[in-house]
Structure 1
Amino acid sequence: MQIIERDTHRSWLDGHFLSLLEFGRRTPVDGGGAAWLDDEGSPVAAEGVQCWITCRTVHTYSLGALQGIPGARVIAQRALDGLTGPLYDDVNGGWFAQVGGTLPPGARDKAAYAHAFVVLAASSGVLAELDGAGDLLAEALRTVEERFWDEEAGLVVDTFNDDFTVLDPYRGINANMHTVEAFLAAADVTGERIWLDRAARIGAFAARAAKANGWRLPEHFDERWNPLLEFNADVPGDKFKPYGATVGHGIEWARLLLNLEAAGATGTDWAEAAVALFDRAVEDGWDAERGGFAYTTDWTGTPVVADRMHWVVAEAIGAAASLWKRTGDARYAQLYATWWDYADAYVLDHEHGSWHHQLDPENRPTDTVWPGKADLYHAAQCTLIPRLPLAPTMASAIARGTEL
C-alpha cells in the first residue's frame, strides 16, 4: 500500500490542516479583510489589506468551516467583509489590489488575478453560508465577464486602471490559470455550464501554448497573445511576473487540467497534457541532489532563480496526488511521498508554524522574494487534494459530504 492510501497519513494531513488554520488565527483585520502575516503569524501593518490574500483567506477558512472546525467561519466572514467593504470600489466597481499600509504602485489597479480570487472566495463563501457571499459571487462574475473576459480569445485580459478606462496591453497566463480555478468553482456552485466551458477554453489555450514550447509554458504575452519569452529578464525573481518558465505553474496547470477533465470539460486531451506539463516541470525544476524545486528556468530548462518557494512543492504534492488518482501509476505516489518528506525536513516551520515561504538553494530560509508567511492557501490545499476527488472543486466536494 502506498503512503497516500494509508489512514494514518490521511489523519496526519487532517492534523496539519488544523495546525495551519491555527497559525492564521490573527489574520482578520478590523473593518474587514485579511492581513499579510510575518514568520510568527503576526499581521504586517505595512502590507495593508491585499485583495488576493483576503480572498485566499476567505476560501481557506471556508474549507475549514465546511468541515465543522470551530472558529473557521468567523475568520472567513471577517475576511469576506473586506471584499464587500474597503476593498470594493463602490464608484467604479471591481476590487482594489490593496488598501491601507504602504501602498505600492498599482494599488488601485483592477487586476484579473485578484478578481479571479474574488470569484473563488465568493464561491466557497456561498457553500460555507457566509453573509453576503451570494451577492458577492454574482457581482464578481458580472465584473469578470464584463471587464476581463475576451470572448474572441477565450481568455481573460490582465490589468485595468482604477476606473476601467485604460487596459494594459500585457496579457498573462497566471491570471488565466487562477480564472480556471475560479470558473470551475463557480460552475459547481451556480450549476451554470458556461463557466466550465470558459475554463476549458483557457485550459486548452494553455495546453497548446505549452506544447508549442516544449511543454515549458510561456507566462507572458502581448495583447495579441504572442509569447513574450524575454519579459522581465532583468527582474527574474518577480513575485508574480518572473522571467522564463515558472516551474510551479507547469505543475499547477497539470492538476487543473485533470480537474477540467473530471468536470466533463472538452477541448483537448487533458490527461496527456497534464502528464507532459508535470514531467517537464519536474525534470527541469527538481533538484534531486539537494532537494527542492527551482522557482524558474530559462527556455532550455536551466534554473534561473534557484531559490525554493513553498508554494511550488505544495503544488507538486497536489499534482502528484491528482495524477496518481487519475492514472494509478505508482511513480506519482512515490513522488508524492518524497516531496512530503522534503517539505517536512525543510519547508514546514516546526517552531513557529505554517511553512517557510522561501528557501535558498541550500534549503535555508530566506526572504528576498517572499518575506514572512503571506497566507495559507497553497499549504492548506495540498492537505486536502489527496483526500478529495478530482471533481467537484474542494469546497463543493466537502459541502456534498465527501469523506476526508
Structure 2
Amino acid sequence: MDYSAEDPAPPEWTREQGSGLVAWAGHSRQAHGFAWLDDDGRPRPEQGVQSWITARTTHVSALHAREHGGAAADLAEHGVRSLRESLRDAEHGGWFSTVSFDGSPIDTDKAGYQHAFVLLAASTSTSAGVPEAAELLADASATVLDRFWDAEAGRAAESFDRSFSRGEDYRGANSNMHMVEAFLAAGAATGDPAWAQRALAIAEFLIRDQAAAHGYRLPEHYTADWRVLPDYNRDRPADPFRPYGWTPGHSLEWARLLLHVEAAVERPAAWLLPAAEELFSTAVEASWARDGADGFCYTLDWDDRPVIRERMHWVATEACAAAHALHARTGGAGYAESARKWWAHVRAYFVDAAQNWRHETDPHGRPSTTVWSGRPDVYHAYTALSFAAGTPIPGYAVLGAGAAPEGKAST
C-alpha cells in the first residue's frame, strides 16, 4: 500500500519495529519454551511457560526468519522443539496449557485456544522450513482433527481434561476464530484445500449466521450445543479470554480473516466481503472514541455501552491490519485513511522507545493493568506491521482491489 510522506508506518519504521519485537520476544526464552514477560522484559516464573505464548512466539519468529533469517531462526527452532517435547503430553497426546520453568506440568487441561496456536506455529514454521516443523504439524493436525474438530457441526470444541475424557460445557467464538487462522495456515503449508473449507464452515456459523443476526455484534459465548449466552461472565467482565459483552477487536480481526477465507476457498461465497465490511464498520462506529477519548473501547454491552473502557494494543493493531486488508481488497480510500489514523494512535500510545509495545492503557493513555499485566505477546503487533509493510504471511492471502481470486469465481 502506498502512503504519502506523512505515513506514520513507513517501510523503514515497520522493518525496525518488526525486528525490535522479535528481539523483545527473545528475552522470554526458557529451557521449555517462551515465558510471560513483565514491563521490563523479565520472565515471570509465576506464570510458567504457556503453550499459547510459546506457539505465538514460535509463529512470529518463523515469519521473521522466513524473511530475514538471523537469530529469529534459532528462536523458531527452539519453539518447535519445545512444542514437540516439553509442552506436549507424551501420555495422552495434545499440549499442556502450562508447564513450570523446570518443565513439570502445571495446567494439564487441553484447550482449543492453545491448540489452535500450536497448529498455527507448526504451519508457519513448516512454510518457513524450520527443522522438525513438519513433524509438529502432522501431530498438531491429527490432534486438532481427532479431538477438537466437530465435522458435523463445522466448529471446534472448547476444552477437555488431560485425558480428553471430559469436555467443557461451553463453546467459544474466540478459540474458533483462531482455529480459522490456523486452518488457513495449515492449508498454505500442506496444500490441502480441506483446511480452508473447515475455516469457511466456522465463519458461516459465527459470522454469516450469528454476527449478522445480532447486527454484526458477534456473540462470543455459547453452550455446548451452540446456544448464545449473552450474559456470560457479566460478573467477571475483565476476564482476559472470555470477557462479558461483545469484543469489537474480534470483529476487526474477523473482518480480515473473512478476506483470507475468500481468497483460500475454491468458490468463495458472495457474503464474505460484505460481511467483512459490516463487521469493520460496526466495530469502528461502536468502539472508536465511544467515551469521548481516542482509542477503541475494549468491550461493549449489547446496547453498545462501554463495559471495559481500557485500550488494548492488540485491538488497535488488528484495526490497522483490517484496514490494510480491506484497502487491498476493495481499493477504498477510506480504509487507507483509517490505517493512517490508527497507526498514528498506536505510535502515540503503545510504542515506547524500547520497542516493547505496551499492552494496555486507560482511556487517557496511561499504563493500565485492568485486563493484562506485563507484555507477554508480540503476535498482534507483528502481524499488523507485516500488513503495513506488504510482507506476505502464509495463509493470509488478500485479494487485489476489486478482483476475484485467480482461477476462482464468486457465487
Q: Would you say same fold, with TM above 0.5?
A: yes
Q: CA RMSD in A?
A: 2.3
Match of 2:303 in 1: 300
Match of 1:402 in 2: none
Task: Tell me if the contact between 1:127 and 1:395 (Cα under 8 Å) persists in the aligned partners.
Answer: no
Map 1:24-63 onto structure 2 (within 5 A). 24-30=25-31, 32-63=32-63
| Residues 12-21 or 270-279, more deviating | 12-21
Match of 2:3 in 1: 2
Match of 2:383 in 1: 381
In structure 2, do the counterparts of structure 1 residues 249 and 191 end up closer, same or farther at CA, with 3 Å as the change threshold?
Answer: same
5+ long unaligned stretches in structure 1: 397-404
Q: Deviations for 1:101-137, whole angstroms, at most 9, x for unmatched residues?
A: 699x982110111101011000111122222211110
Map 1:280-295 onto structure 2 (within 5 A). 280-287=282-289, 289-295=292-298
Task: Tell me if the contact between 1:258 and 1:322 (Cα under 8 Å) persists in the aligned partners.
Answer: yes
Identity %: 42
Letter in 1 for 2:66: L
- Matches of 1:392 and 1:76 in 2, distance apart? 15
Match of 2:405 in 1: none
Match of 1:231 in 2: 232
Partner SS state of residue 307, structure 2: strand
Partner SS state of residue 243, structure 2: coil
Letter in 2 for 1:324: H
Task: Tell me if the contact between 1:89 and 1:95 (Cα under 8 Å) persists in the aligned partners.
Answer: yes
Partner SS state of residue 135, structure 1: helix
* TM-score of the superposed pair, with normalisation by structure 1: 0.93
Match of 1:77 in 2: 77
Match of 2:273 in 1: 271
Letter in 2 for 1:189: A
Q: Deviations for 1:27-85, whole angstroms, at most 9, x for unmatched residues?
A: 2111x311111112221111111000000011000011101231001111112221111
Q: Deviations for 1:269-317, whole angstroms, at most 9, x for unmatched residues?
A: 1110000011111111111742111110001111100001110001000
Task: Tell me if the contact between 1:154 and 1:202 (Cα under 8 Å) persists in the aligned partners.
Answer: yes
Task: Tell me if the contact between 2:288 and 2:297 (Cα under 8 Å) persists in the aligned partners.
Answer: yes
Letter in 2 for 1:43: P
Match of 2:251 in 1: 250
Partner SS state of residue 33, structure 2: coil
Map 1:190-209 onto structure 2 (within 5 A). 190-207=190-207, 208-209=209-210
| Residues 123-132 or 268-277, more deviating | 123-132
Task: Tell me if the contact between 1:34 and 1:50 (Cα under 8 Å) persists in the aligned partners.
Answer: yes
Match of 1:346 in 2: 349
- Matches of 1:189 and 1:257 in 2, distance apart? 19
- Matches of 2:87 and 2:5 in 1, distance apart? 40
Partner SS state of residue 335, structure 1: helix
Residues 1:259 and 2:260 aligned together: yes
Letter in 2 for 1:313: A
- Matches of 1:95 and 1:51 in 2, distance apart? 7
In structure 2, do the counterparts of structure 1 residues 27 and 4 end up closer, same or farther at CA, with 3 Å as the change threshold?
Answer: farther
Task: Tell me if the contact between 1:217 and 1:245 (Cα under 8 Å) persists in the aligned partners.
Answer: yes
In structure 2, do the counterparts of structure 1 residues 268 and 199 end up closer, same or farther at CA, with 3 Å as the change threshold?
Answer: farther
**Shift of residue 152, structure 1, vs aligned partner:** 1.3
Task: Tell me if the contact between 2:262 and 2:269 (Cα under 8 Å) persists in the aligned partners.
Answer: no
In structure 2, do the counterparts of structure 1 residues 130 and 42 end up closer, same or farther at CA, with 3 Å as the change threshold?
Answer: same
Partner SS state of residue 304, structure 1: strand
Residues 1:120 and 2:123 aligned together: no
Aligned length: 394
- Matches of 1:275 and 1:4 in 2, distance apart? 28
Letter in 1 for 2:12: S
5+ long unaligned stretches in structure 2: 399-411
Partner SS state of residue 67, structure 1: helix
- Matches of 2:97 and 2:110 in 1, distance apart? 7
